[in-house]
Amino acid sequence: MHLLLLTLLLILLLSLVKFVHTFIWTPYRIQQHFTKQAITGPAYRLITGNTVDIRRGFAEAASKPVSTFDHDILYRVSPSYHRWSRMYGKPFLYWFGSTPRLGISEPEMIKEVLKNTGGLFEKIRFNPLAEPLFQQGLVGLTGDLWAFHRRIANQAFKHGAS
């Protein structure tokens, strides 16, 4: 009986340590790392990250009327990105649950991420409902298959230039 109770307490303690490490310690360390590099963003919230703010931004944007003569649509398409890039500068750090994401807009940084030959940058996984739309395209592929498709697409852009 004592062995069973001890095992149960050990499992509970290990679960608590894993929870604290995943949802408190790691996000704190990541946020401190980026703060040292002068990259800030909205504060991390336990478990949900900034997903509540993202949903609220979409709801606010959908409630406002659309201007027919305005070509600046970022506030409608990605209201959180629009607001946070103005508040925190570019780039900025935000949280999707306990996973950090870096919002970038400088062309050189975007170019570096899109090249991604060393595998340093991970692509965000698609919503399972949207996956059939993108999975076989350049946006949805990774690794060697992505490199192969990128080489083919690159030829199309270089053909007109020569």
Reported as a single tens digit per residue, the pLDDT across 34-62 is: 999 999 999 999 888 888 998 998 888 88
Q: State phi, psi for 55 to the nearest 5 degrees.
A: -65, -40
User: d(Cα 99, Cα 49) in Å, to the nearest integer?
Assistant: 8
Residues 18, 22, 26: CA angle, nearest 5 degrees: 130
pTM over 0.75: no
Tokens for 7, please give them: 């095992």
Q: Is the pLDDT of residue 136 over 90?
A: no
d(CA 133, CA 139): 10
* pLDDT tens digits for range 75-100: 778 888 888 988 988 899 999 888 89
Q: Where are the domains of the chain?
A: 1-105, 107-162
Task: Place 25 in a pLDDT band, splitting at 50, 70 and 90.
Answer: very high
Query: Residue 153: which pLDDT band, with cuts at 50, 70 and 90?
Result: confident
Percentage, residues of the chain above pLDDT 70: 89
CA separation for the pair 105, 116 (Å, rounded): 16
Looking at per-residue pLDDT, the higher value among 162 and 33 belongs to: 33
DSSP β-bridge partners for residue 45:
none
pLDDT of residue 159: 58
Look up residue 22 and give its two tokens: 């995943």
CA distance 102 to 21: 21
Question: Measuring CA to CA, which residue among 108, 93, 99, 112 is closest to residue 38?
Answer: 93
